[in-house]
Every structure is written in C-alpha cells, then in structure tokens.
Chains A and B, each alone.
Chain A
Amino acid sequence: MVESVVERITRGHFWDFHGGIHPPEQKFLTSNKPIKQLSLPKQLIIPLQQHIGQEGDLLVSIGEHVLKGQALTLSTNPMVVPIHAPTSGTISAIKMSVIAHPSGLSQLCIIFDVDGDDRWRKREVCHDIELLANHQIIEKIANAGIAGMGGAGFPTHIKVNSKVSSKPDINFLIINGVECEPYITADDLLMMEQSNAIVDGIKILDKLLTPAFIFIAIENNKPKAIKALQQATAKIEKIKVCVVPTKYPAGGEKQLIQILTGKEVTSGQLPIHAGIVMQNVATCFAINEAVRHDTPLIRRVVTVTGQALDKPQNVWALIGTPINFLLEQCSVQHIKNEKQPVIMGGPMMGFSVSSELVPVVKTSNCILVPSKVEMPSAFEKESKEVECIRCGQCSDVCPSQLLPQELQWSAKAKDHAQLKKLNLSDCIDCGACAYVCPSQIPLVHYYRIAKAEILEQQQLDLKAEKAKTRFEARKLRLEKEKVARHEKQKKAAAARKAAMNKATPEATGAKSAVAAALARVKAKKASKDQVQEQTNTPDSQTNLSSDVADDQKSQVSAAIARAKAKKKLKAEATNTLSSDNNDANKIVDALETKSTVTLQASVDDKKAKIAVAIAKAKAKKLNKTNDAAADTNKVTKHTLAVNMDAKKVVNIEDKKVKIAAAIAKVKSKALAKANKVNKETDDTSRINYPVTNNETQSKYKPAELVQTEQEDIAVSDSTGNSKNKNITESKPIISIDKKAKIIAAIAKAKAKNKLKEISLVEKNNPDNV
C-alpha cells in the first residue's frame, strides 16, 4: 500500500476528492513581492490564548520589563502553549481586549509597550540537532509556543510526539504548502524565501516521527515555491515534492490526505490513527527556528492583501501587532461612510474583524481588505437569501460529500437529531457550498450556529445529568441524616430508659454490683459453649464452678495470651534465625487466635469483637507472608493492641475484672511454666497451626468456614481446658467463685433484657466503633 502510493506520487498521479471549487484567484496581488520587514509597532496586544487549548499561567506582572523572546506565560499542561515577548518592552497592562475571533469578544491580553531596543534574551543556538534527544526537541518545541500555523492552532508538540502510546508507525509525513485560499500567499513566499530553513524543520520532524515518506504538497499555481523546494530537497531521497492540482479546498487536512494517499480519515479520528501526520510549512519553519536558533514563535508571515489596499504585500508581523498598524503599512484606501469588511484569513474561511485593535496571532495568515468591485458579496447590506431550490450544486461541491441543502433545512428547524444523522460534524466549514449556492443562502453560517447549538445542548445535557446525580446524592444524604438523627434520638431514649432501670437495683445494692453482674452475665452467655465442652473433659468439677470463675478464666486466658505474646517478642528478639523461629511465629499466631476466640467468648463485647476481627484479619494476612521476626513483631503488636483494647473495655465495664486481671497476672507467672509445656508439646502447636491456616484459606468458603470455626473453638477449648487445669491445679479459686455464681445467676436474669436492648442499639450503630 505504502509503496503503491509512493509510486503513484512519483509518477505525478494523485487521487481526487469529491467536489471542490475554483474561486477567482488574486494571489498575484502579493506573490511577486518579497516579504517585507516592518518597523516595530508602538504597542502590541498579545492574547494569552492563541491556540486550541487553555491559557497558560502568567509569568509577568504589570510594569515589568521583558526581553525579546522571554516567556510571558507558563505551560502547566500539554494543552497549554506558552506565549513570548515578540520584542523587548514593558508590560503596560493585562486586561480584556478584543481578540482575533469571529465573535469579536474580548479575552485576557497582555498590552505590551515596545521600547524599540529589540533586545534579545540569552539564546542557546544549537548547531547539531543530532546531539539532542527527541524529548529535548519536543520540549524545545513546546517551550517555543508553536501551535499549528495553518489555521487550526493545534499545539505542535503534541502532534509531533509520536512516542505517546497507542500511536501506530507513521507512514507519511505530509507538509502542507497547498495554501488553497485564493488570496493568501504567506506560505508561498515563505517557501520561496526560506526553503532551506523549512527543509531543516522537516528534517527535525523526520527525526522525531521517523515517517516512511515525507511529502511536501504544493498547488501547481506556485511554480517558484515548487522550484525552491525541489532544489532544497534534491538530495533527500525520502522527501517528495508533490505538485497537486489547484482546487479549493485541497489544503484541508482530510482533503490533502485523500489527494496524496487516496485514504479517508475515518470520521471522528485523527490522521495519526491512519499513520499520517500533517504539518504546515510555516510550522516547519517555526520548528527549525525554535530548535536550532532557540527563537520562540514571536513573528509570522501575514499576507496583507485586497484591492482596497494600495500596497498589498506579505509582511513579517510580530505576534500581537494590531491590524491597524499592518493596514497603515500597506496604505489602505479610505472609503468614507462605507462599510468596509476587513477579513482575517482568506475570503473563503476567514472572519470579518470588528475592531482595528484585533491583534495578529499565531494562526493569522492573512488580512484581506477587498474592494467592492472584487468582492461585492462581502459588502451586501442584507442577506440576499432566497428559498433553496434543491438544485444540488452544494452537494456537488461539498468535499465531505454531505447534503448541504438537507442540512440547511434541518439546521433552520433546529432538528439536532437529523443533523447528526446527516453528519453535520463532518462539515469542515470550507464554504464551498455557500460559494456556489444560487439562492445565496449563507449555508456555512447556519451550520456554525447549529454546531454551536448542538455543543451547547450537549453541555446542558451533561450539566442536567450532573445536577440530577448531585440532587439524588443530596436526597440520599438527607435521608441518611434523618435516619441517623432518628436513631440517635431512639438511642438516647433507650439510654434514659436504661438509666431509669439501673436506678432500681441501685436502691437495693451497690452500683458496682450491678455492673459486675452485667459483666458476668455477658461472660456466662459467651462461655456457654465452653461449659458444654467442658462437661466432656475430665475436669467436670470445673463445670460446677461459678460463671465468675469462667469469666475470670477467660480474662486470665486473655492475659495469658498477652503475656505469652510478650514473652515471644522477647524470645524472638534474642532468637537467631532458625526453623524454630518460624514455628514460634506459628505458635504465636495460633495462640493469638486462641486468645482472641476465648476473649471473644468471655467478654462478649462487640467492640472488642470487631477490633479482634480486624486484628485477626491483619494477623492472617501477615501469617500468609509468614517470614521473619519483624512480621511476628507486628503481629504480636497487633495482638497486644487488641488485648489492650479489650482490656480497656473490660476496665470500663467492670472493676472486678480488673482485679481478676491482677490475679491473672499473678497466675500468668504460673502459667508461664505451663506455657513452656505448651511450647514443648509440639502436638498443640501443630494442631493449632493447620487450623488457623485453614481459617485463612476458607475465608470465602462458608461451609468450610463453619467447620473450621467449630474446630477452632474445639481446639481453643481444649487448650483452654489445659489452662484451666493449670489454674485449678495451681490455686483454689473455685470456692470463692461458687458464691459469686449464685449472685450472678440472679443478676443474669434481670440484666438479660437490658443487654438485648443495648446490643441491638449497638448493632444499629456501627458508627460508635
């Protein structure tokens, strides 16, 4: 495919695009005169945004003196193109001013008083671009503020950055020197006078994009430019100068691609998706200036033309030069009391400016001041529009093969759906349809309005959608807040009720007794399972022991776990890396699980439970990594933290528990011995280890989970039992507990109801955790 395209082009054969027109050419007005260097204007008006994208951040302030080429704005993202001081001078104001836009609206501009010195900032001239890496070149291009100079103003550094992901190999780099607008000769003259610089710029693009072939497309009405570029590229095999037939709009990106390659750019895609990049010749020149001479884009060639001017000519205009300065330089004939269109751009796609202060920007290639003789239609006071007779001439000339007459009806009827169906978005605003329309319908104008309306409608729809979601979110939030408030009130009421109930036993006994009873009840409820299990153990006596004993036991076991963990920490600190270490970790984990289970069972505190669950999950995670002492440390720390939490809760809940804990501490010493036994008995640890492991694995297998949980409980029970054994063996606490058990049984019944209530409230209020 690539080869055949090149073959065709070498033979001088091109494809054709649909439609197109041949408006009368007036290039001779300016094409025979060299580009004129102008004197410096007194004041420049430099709009902050001169390209497609966003404004940069201002780097200068009012009153500041800047040198030529100094950056005035900073690019903070890729869609921002910086602007530079076109000459040296002072910033006199930064304000809204009319910009080069068909709307005649104002945007932020830097008003720049020229001091006349034209003093440059320090420049670093690059003699050999081969020494520069691609990203450095792209950076230079970006910093030089180059945006597509053909008219669209797309940031060039984005276009030439082929390293951006998902871009295919570049087959063709097309340099657009077609310049199909019938008056403009800016590119023509630039090609004549600066062909070597343009070719140098093309070489830089070649280095960046590494295309298979480079085509320079020039319309056959520019023989001098063709000759100049053919000479400049004579020795370069890769570059081909393509002389394309003159037809408007051959210079359109899509049309030129079709002429040269026969391919169509799929609607909604960029040429780069088809492996094609197109750059304007003026952009190539600017790239060369920027990369080799460190000269930012501060001036451009502007064709100042039209028969209303005495001296139409191409000029080097500084960016920001107001058009009245340019017109004075080319001596505009004064037409008194006559409306005079001044068109920025060509007669086909340019726009009429509303003020003489409109500045030249990076995309301005022409100032056209036509006389009434040469362009009567531009002077018409009112639209001569008559009804469309469906002659179809517009669709015959449309380069996008649209149906302008049908679009026009739909646009007038504001039928956006139909416009979309007729592919209005593929219209390139070339104006060929309006040019040939015998009914003088300003077709393009209708399309522009329709496009703006569609865009606005899209934005409105987006906004409505956003407003809707925000409204829904707000409604949801208010609903939630209401429920929360309701809950809070309910809870407060419940608390009040509880306080009232509390008051009754207070009359009969001590406050602490009730609290103790509460705690005991909780403990008992939780240890029911344990009790059941314990009946099977030889220690049947223990079953007869009071709940308090159980409670204490569980507390004790928690304490044990803590103590053990501490001990383990110490042990590990001293331990060298050994296989035992790993085992120890496992044991700690196992014990931790154990302790948490028992803790859970005994304290029956939601908060503790959740905390433990989190700790467990963390421990499990860490268990998986299953590595060195450091991890174990973390795990034990977590366990400690959990235990501390649990302890806190316990402290708040019951003073007695504290005492029990104190006792437990004493006991723990004794248990330390027992622990040794535990440690020694590999059986215990081995049993524990797979169980915890199982639990980790079965996190997402409910059936298994139940099973392992049961096992876990069983295991912990058995170890707990062994501990219990230790306790009973070591100290006779049971006798004391018997009495307490009776008291607790009474209190239990009383407190049960309250407990339920409280737990219910707590369940509904996870926020408290």
Chain B
Amino acid sequence: MAFWIASSPHNHNHTKTPNLMRLVMYATLPGVLAQWYFFGWGNLIHISLAMATALICEFTVLSLRKKPISHELFDGSALLAALLIGICLPALAPWWISVIGTIFAIVIAKQLYGGLGHNPFNPAMAGYVMLLVSFPLQMTLWQPPLSLVAVDLNFTNTLYTILTGFSVEGYSVEQIRTSIDGLTMATPLDTLKTNTSLGLTVFESIKNPIFGDNFALGWEWINAGFLLGGLFLIAKKAIPWQTPISFLLSLFICSFIGYSLSPDSSASTMFHWFSGATMLGAFFILTDPVSGATSNKGRIIVGLLAGLLVYLIRTAGGYPDGVAFAVLLCNMSAPLIDQYTRPRTYGHLKGDK
C-alpha cells in the first residue's frame, strides 16, 4: 500500500458535464416527438445530419488543437448544439443547410473561441442566425403541419426531399408547402406578420387554418413538449429556474401590454408563449450556462431582456421569430451583466464588493 496524495475535498457528488448534457438532450424528447408527430421526419433527419457533422467537425478540430479527443468528443456539448440546430431548422430545408449550420456552430462559434466553456455565443444559435442571414430563402421553407399537407410525407419522401429538393413523386418543396387552396403556407408567426402588414387584424388572421383551434396548429404542442422537458430539467436542477421563468414572464408582460393597447394588431400572450421557439429558447437555449449570465440576479436580467427582445423582434422586427437574435444579443451582454450583478460576499457590506 502506498499513500496517495490528493487535494481536498476528497469526495465528489459524481456529477459530470457529459451527464448534464445528456440529461438536457433527453429533456428535448417530448418536444422532438411532438415535432415528429406534427411535422414528420424532416427535423429528425436534420438532427441526425447535424449530429454526424458535429462529431466529424469536433473530431477534426480537437485533433488539430491536440486536445484529448476521447475526453472531449463525447462530452455531449457538440451533440447538444447539433440537436438544437436540427430542431430549429425548417423540416424540408435542404441537407446542406444543417451541415453548413453545424460546421459554423462547432468550428467557428465554439472551437475557434477556445472550445467548450469559452464560447461567448451559443453555438447553435450562432449557426442558426448565420443560416438565417445567409440563406433566407431556404430558411423560410417552413412546412405546414402534416394534416394540412396534401403530399404524403413519409420518411423516404422527406429524406428524398431534403436531399434533392423534390419529393419522390416530383413535387418541389414549394409545391409541398402549398395548401389545397393554392396558398403557400408558412409558420403561424410568419403568417401573422404578413397579414398584419397587409392590414388584416389578428382576429381575421387567425382564421387561417395554420393557427388551428388554439394558437398555432402543431406548434403549441411542440412548445408544450419543450415546456415539459424544461420543467423536468428544473426539477432535476440541471438548469437554473431563473432564466426561463423571467424570460416567459417578460414575454408575457410585453405581449400583455401590447395586446391591451391594441388588441387588433397584437397577438395574445398565450400565442406568444406557444408559438415559434419560445419554450425551446426559454428552457434549452437561454439556459446554456457557457454563454449566459452566471449569477442568479444576472440570469433574471438576461431572461427579462430576452423576453423584451423577442417581443420587439416579433412585432417590430423584420423576422417572424426573434428568439435566436434575442439569445445572441443576451449572450453579448451577459459578461457585462455578470460584472454588475456580483453577489455580496459574506461579511462584506453592500457597497464594497
């Protein structure tokens, strides 16, 4: 027996970063399933494409940076980023969209900044925004829920469409997106935005079948799925509760004020909550610890700021949804917020830090 020197504490609660990442990935399952149910295989195909790309990118960069590959390749951070990109993309976007987006996210947004823990921006959102800015056409190829699509989008058909741009039967993506009435369908948020700019009231807009019975056909269930997963994560203490709660609260307040000021041109609070990427952003993207604020007060501020930004971008901005932009802007301000929200150390007065 030899004595073995180690530094205290000698015990550990056995949590590991990979486990944490895996837990977050599992928590996306309800949302992803809902997505699959309402929108078909498209996103699942994109998720697997993105994950494969992410692993290849990660491996290449890690070996170039001479980092311990086995240690870091499967720490889950790259896979999680790929998963989020896959979830965010339009289901029928061409395959190279997810590949390019993932490459950008992993290589540029993550590894070039120093890898895990050093990236100032959420890689998934950075990749998504890059795609949104660079390929606006492909990135708006939103597919209506399966119930409204005339073409039978089974797995092979979807895969074929993603890979070639045409379904097996020869329909183009545009044709798939076109409803029986001959109208091209977009997301509820998009539709609302277009209609509002056309002078229609919200009440008139939501008669569009895309909105379904409640707020947004399909989307509401996807959001509910992510909400469920998020609550699970909070219960598991894998993510802090402050960010999502403050974000949702902020969005609620903003939309409530907007709605009460002009009900005609503003969507309801619940519409804002349950459409677009609200819940995904609240529980899975804003809570990314690396690029977010670290102090509790800072997290609340980031959440409030993100809610406000999302509302502003959705109502006044050029894009239908603003979660990705809001997240990037919050990432930018996080270090500053952290700087000013340092907690008061034990035994120190409020004034002297």
Q: A contacts B directly in the complex (CB < 8 Å)? A: yes
Q: Which of A50-58, A371-379, A532-540 contacts B (4 or more CB under 8 A)?
A: A371-379
Q: Are B10 and A341 within 8 A (Cβ)?
A: yes
Interface residues of B in 87-138 (CB under 8 A from A): 115-118
Residue from B6, B12, B347 with most neighbouring chain A CB atoms (10 Å): B12
Contacts of B12 in A (CB 8 A): 377, 434-435, 437, 440
Over the window 1-29 of chain B, the binary record of Cβ atoms lying under 8 Å from chain A Cβ atoms (1 yes, 0 no) is 11111111111111111011000000000
User: Per a CB cutoff under 8 Å, which of B13, B289, B345 touches A390?
Assistant: B289
**Residue B342 at the chain A interface, CB threshold 8 Å:** yes
Q: Are A18 and B346 within 8 A (Cβ)?
A: yes
Over the window 280-317 of chain B, the binary record of Cβ atoms lying under 8 Å from chain A Cβ atoms (1 yes, 0 no) is 00000000011010111000000000000000000000
| Given A266-B347, A401-B344, A426-B348, A354 contacting B117 (CB threshold 8 A) | no
**Residue B353 at the chain A interface, CB threshold 8 Å:** yes
Contacts of B344 in A (CB 8 A): 401
Can you name the residue of chain A whose Cβ is closest to the Cβ of B291? A390
In the complex, what distance in Å separates the CA atom of A396 from the CA atom of B241?
A: 13
Contacts of B295 in A (CB 8 A): 392, 395, 403
Min C-beta distance of B68 to chain A, whole Å: 9
**Residue A349 at the chain B interface, CB threshold 8 Å:** yes
Contacts of A143 in B (CB 8 A): none
In the complex, what distance in Å separates the CA atom of A389 from the CA atom of B1?
A: 37
Contacts of B353 in A (CB 8 A): 421, 423
Contacts of A380 in B (CB 8 A): 6
**Residue A577 at the chain B interface, CB threshold 8 Å:** no
Contacts of A355 in B (CB 8 A): 3
Q: Are B345 and A400 within 8 A (Cβ)?
A: yes
**Residue B72 at the chain A interface, CB threshold 8 Å:** yes
In the complex, what distance in Å separates the CA atom of A436 from the CA atom of B116?
A: 19
Can you name the residue of chain B whose Cβ is closest to the Cβ of A428? B346
**Residue A454 at the chain B interface, CB threshold 8 Å:** no
Contacts of A21 in B (CB 8 A): 13
Q: Are B8 and A387 within 8 A (Cβ)?
A: no
Chain B interface helix/strand/loop/mixed = loop
In the complex, what distance in Å separates the CA atom of A558 from the CA atom of B7?
A: 86
**Residue B75 at the chain A interface, CB threshold 8 Å:** yes
**Residue A336 at the chain B interface, CB threshold 8 Å:** yes
| Given A347-B9, A386-B116, A390-B117, A426 contacting B345 (CB threshold 8 A) | yes
In the complex, what distance in Å separates the CA atom of A258 from the CA atom of B347?
A: 10
**Residue B343 at the chain A interface, CB threshold 8 Å:** yes
Can you name the residue of chain B whose Cβ is closest to the Cβ of A368? B10
Q: Are B16 and A423 within 8 A (Cβ)?
A: no
Q: Are B348 and A267 within 8 A (Cβ)?
A: yes
| Given A386-B71, A436-B15, A440-B12, A340 contacting B4 (CB threshold 8 A) | yes
**Residue B244 at the chain A interface, CB threshold 8 Å:** no
Contacts of A348 in B (CB 8 A): 8-11
User: Per a CB cutoff under 8 Å, which of B5, B7, B8, B15 touches A438?
Assistant: B15
Q: Are B346 and A399 within 8 A (Cβ)?
A: yes
In the complex, what distance in Å separates the CA atom of A267 from the CA atom of B5?
A: 32
| Given A348-B9, A445-B7, A389 contacting B117 (CB threshold 8 A) | yes
Q: Are A405 and B294 within 8 A (Cβ)?
A: yes
How many residues from A make CB contacts under 8 Å with B? 79
In the complex, what distance in Å separates the CA atom of A422 from the CA atom of B115?
A: 25
Min C-beta distance of B298 to chain A, whole Å: 9
**Residue A353 at the chain B interface, CB threshold 8 Å:** yes
Q: Are B345 and A378 within 8 A (Cβ)?
A: no
**Residue A417 at the chain B interface, CB threshold 8 Å:** no
**Residue B240 at the chain A interface, CB threshold 8 Å:** yes
In the complex, what distance in Å separates the CA atom of A432 from the CA atom of B11?
A: 10
In the complex, what distance in Å separates the CA atom of A210 from the CA atom of B98?
A: 75
In the complex, what distance in Å separates the CA atom of A345 from the CA atom of B8?
A: 10
Q: Are A182 and B17 within 8 A (Cβ)?
A: no
| Given A182-B11, A267-B347, A352 contacting B5 (CB threshold 8 A) | yes
Contacts of B8 in A (CB 8 A): 343, 345, 347-351, 429, 431, 444
Q: Are A386 and B75 within 8 A (Cβ)?
A: yes
In the complex, what distance in Å separates the CA atom of A265 from the CA atom of B347?
A: 5
User: Per a CB cutoff under 8 Å, which of B13, B17, B118, B345 touches A401?
Assistant: B345
User: Per a CB cutoff under 8 Å, which of A343, A392, A403 touches B289?
Assistant: A392
Over the window 253-280 of chain A, the binary record of Cβ atoms lying under 8 Å from chain B Cβ atoms (1 yes, 0 no) is 0100010000011111100000000000
Q: Are A440 and B348 within 8 A (Cβ)?
A: no
Over the window 311-353 of chain B, the binary record of Cβ atoms lying under 8 Å from chain A Cβ atoms (1 yes, 0 no) is 0000000000000000000000000000000111111110001
| Given A386-B17, A401-B343, A347 contacting B10 (CB threshold 8 A) | yes
Interface residues of A in 353-394 (CB under 8 A from B): 353-356, 368, 370, 375-380, 386-393
Min C-beta distance of A177 to chain B, whole Å: 22
In the complex, what distance in Å separates the CA atom of A429 from the CA atom of B75?
A: 29
Min C-beta distance of B8 to chain A, whole Å: 5
In the complex, what distance in Å separates the CA atom of A352 from the CA atom of B342?
A: 34
In the complex, what distance in Å separates the CA atom of A400 from the CA atom of B348?
A: 10
Contacts of A402 in B (CB 8 A): 345
**Residue A8 at the chain B interface, CB threshold 8 Å:** no
**Residue A338 at the chain B interface, CB threshold 8 Å:** yes
Q: Are B9 and A431 within 8 A (Cβ)?
A: yes
Q: Are B290 and A389 within 8 A (Cβ)?
A: yes
Contacts of B4 in A (CB 8 A): 339-341, 352, 378-379
In the complex, what distance in Å separates the CA atom of A104 from the CA atom of B6?
A: 12
Can you name the residue of chain A whose Cβ is closest to the Cβ of B288? A389
In the complex, what distance in Å separates the CA atom of A387 from the CA atom of B117?
A: 6
In the complex, what distance in Å separates the CA atom of A339 from the CA atom of B5?
A: 9
User: Per a CB cutoff under 8 Å, which of B10, B115, B342 touches A378?
Assistant: B10
In the complex, what distance in Å separates the CA atom of A194 from the CA atom of B343?
A: 43
**Residue A439 at the chain B interface, CB threshold 8 Å:** yes
Further contacts, 13 of them, CB under 8 A, given A351-B7, A445-B7: A24-B11, A104-B5, A182-B11, A266-B347, A335-B1, A340-B4, A347-B10, A347-B11, A348-B9, A392-B294, A395-B295, A405-B294, A444-B8
A–B Cβ pairs within 8 angstroms, 11 of them: A18-B346, A341-B4, A348-B11, A350-B10, A390-B117, A399-B346, A423-B345, A434-B12, A435-B12, A438-B16, A444-B7
